[in-house]
Amino acid sequence: NSVFAHVVRAPEDPILGVTVAYNKDTSPMKVNLGVGAYRTEEGKPLVLNVVRRAEQMLVNDTSRVKEYLPITGLADFNKRSAELIFGAESPALQENRVTTVQCLSGTGSLRIGAEFLARHYDEHTIYIPQPTWGNHPKVFTLAGLSVKYYRYYDPATRGLDFQGLLDDLAAAPAGAIVLLHACAHNPTGVDPTIDQWEKIRQLMRSKGLLPFFDSAYQGFASGNLDADAQSVRMFVADGGECLVAQSYAKNMGLYGERVGALSIACKDRDVSSKVESQLKLVIRPMYSNPPIHGASIVATILKDRKMYDEWTVELKAMADRIISMRQQLFDTMQARGTPGDWSHIIKQIGMFTFTGLNAEQVSFMTREYHIYMTSDGRISMAGLSSRTVPHLADAMHAAVT
């Protein structure tokens, strides 16, 4: 008899499990709108041309070896990643008060940041938006933080519950950590305006709340890397401290390469170097040091002006295709005369539309139309194409009528 005989089967991950179910479906009509990965008009995964070129350069460079990276990762990658999110001219970078470490994509960056806070920060409560990416509460809880929610989304307006958000943050204990989606909030596609960000900043700074930004979609929301970093830059410009987890999964299409970075902006250079020394102690017993390939791709592109420009063009094309899918879906539903106000489809931004469909309607669409999505009614617009939009519109129409 197995010593593991008592182990009970765990449920599938609520997001990745959607793909598991999709893969089992043999219908030619099936569409996977569950996982947030970009697809072309033809429904195929996309490797950016500039990424292919960077990889070719890396392969051709026979001076490259496979030695271990330092615990903190590739230095060029860290420097360029910090410039990408904070802005190359950022005073915080010029003052050397930011430490950046290469981590395993966005998830790993969040986890390292959370482990560091659990060890070295007094307040262990982290406020996360209601709703948020499903992995957030698990990452923070397992790191030893205590998770609480702040109001974020108002189902009645399908927009931001701004007053609820302010009230909940105002009621948080001084020093509490607050998780903020830098842009393209997942799953709602609803972001604060710049004015609202400014009010959030003032409130958080006046209460000494510690911002922890999750930046998984820089460039994907608007198509512009600087515009999508505005929220983070506002919080760095005031001289205060914050954490930022960056992912290159979406904006460079490097999903499986697991490339990301954690930056901690500190009060001054001395604090930041001590913080970095402690980050190393967090990382070393977890995975020793990060992988070299993906970070080398990113560094190659970010260092070369021409490749960087090429990237921004390819990134904008992805963002634009997503925006055009929103318009097509909205127009098709208008043409069908689907009851209800669906303008949120074109108002929300980023990879996802939070449709407002309930779990029962979602399971109807999966059963009858072979459309796969998370049970909260979130659909990945990046998984849609002109060919599949009419089918989705039919399914949504049938689900609500």
Question: b/e per residue, 97-117, with b = 16+ CB within 10 A?
Answer: bbbbbbbbbbbbbbbbbbbbb
Task: Give the contacts of 301 (CB within 8 A, at least 6 positions apart).
Answer: 50, 51, 54, 252, 307, 308, 311
Q: Which of residues 92-131 bind ligand PMP (CB under 6 A)?
A: 105-107
Contact status: 186 vs ligand PMP (CB under 6 A)? yes
Active site residue 270: no
Q: Is 219 in the site for ligand PMP (CB under 6 A)?
A: no
Minimum Å gap between C-beta 187 and ligand PMP is 8
H or E segment to which residue 101 belongs: strand 98-104
Give me the least distance between CB of 51 and ligand PMP, in Å please.
15
For residue 187, whether the previous peptide bond is cis, meaning omega lies within 30 degrees of 0, is yes
| Marked catalytic residue, from 30, 161, 250, 342 | 250
Identify the residue among 32, 188, 218, 247 touching ligand PMP (CB under 6 A). Answer: 247
Q: Which stretch binds ligand PMP (CB under 6 A): 17-25, 123-131, 247-255, 308-316?
A: 247-255
Residue 133 appears among annotated catalytic residues:
yes
DSSP string, 312-380: HHHHHHHHHHHHHHHHHHHHHHHHHT-SS--THHHHS-SSEEE----HHHHHHHHHHH-EE--TTSEEE
Per the DSSP assignment, residues forming a β-bridge with 160 are 153
Choosing from 112, 216, 243, 301, the residue that interacts with ligand PMP (CB under 6 A) is: 216
In this complex, which beta carbon is closest to ligand PMP, that of residue 161 or of residue 214? 214
Q: 249, 261, 325, 384: which one contacts ligand PMP (CB under 6 A)?
A: 249
Residue 171, classified by CB atoms within 10 Å of its CB into exposed (0-12), middle (13-18) or buried (19+), is exposed
d(CA 328, CA 318): 15
Report residue 164 CA to chain centroid gap: 23
Residues 125-164 that bind ligand PMP (CB under 6 A): 133
Q: In the block, which residue shows the tokens 């830098």?
A: 182
- Residue with Cβ nearer ligand PMP (127 or 369): 127
CB of 94 to ligand PMP, least distance (A): 28
Q: Per-residue x/- mask for ligand PMP, residues 47 to 86, rule CB under 6 A? A: ----------------------------------------
Tell me how far, at minimum, the Cβ of 197 lies from ligand PMP, in Å.
17
- Residue whose CB is less far from ligand PMP, 332 or 355: 355
Angle between helices 359-369 and 389-400 (to 10 degrees): 130
Q: Which of 161, 168, 214, 376 is catalytic?
A: 214
Catalytic, 347? Answer no
253 near ligand PMP (CB under 6 A): no
Alpha carbon distance 111, 139 (integer Å): 6
CB of 107 to ligand PMP, least distance (A): 3
Residue/partner pairs of 9-15 with CB below 8 Å, 24 or more apart: 13/134, 14/134, 14/374, 14/375, 15/134, 15/135, 15/374
**Considering beta carbons, is residue 43 or 256 the nearer one to ligand PMP?**
256
For ligand PMP, give the closer residue by CB, 102 or 328.
102
Shortest spacing between CB 341 and ligand PMP, in angstroms: 26
Nearer to ligand PMP, 258 or 344 (CB): 258
Least distance (Å) between residue 247 CB and ligand PMP: 3
Nearest to 255 by CA among 12, 16, 18, 36: 36
Contacts of 312 (CB under 8 A, 6+ apart): 219, 225
Per rule CB under 6 A, count of chain residues that contact ligand PMP: 13
- Give the residue with the Cβ less far from ligand PMP, 251 or 300: 251
- Between helices 75-86 and 230-237, what is the axis angle to 10°? 90
Binding-site ranges for ligand PMP (CB under 6 A):
36, 105-107, 133, 181, 186, 214, 216, 247, 249, 255, 260
- Catalytically active residues are 133, 214, 250
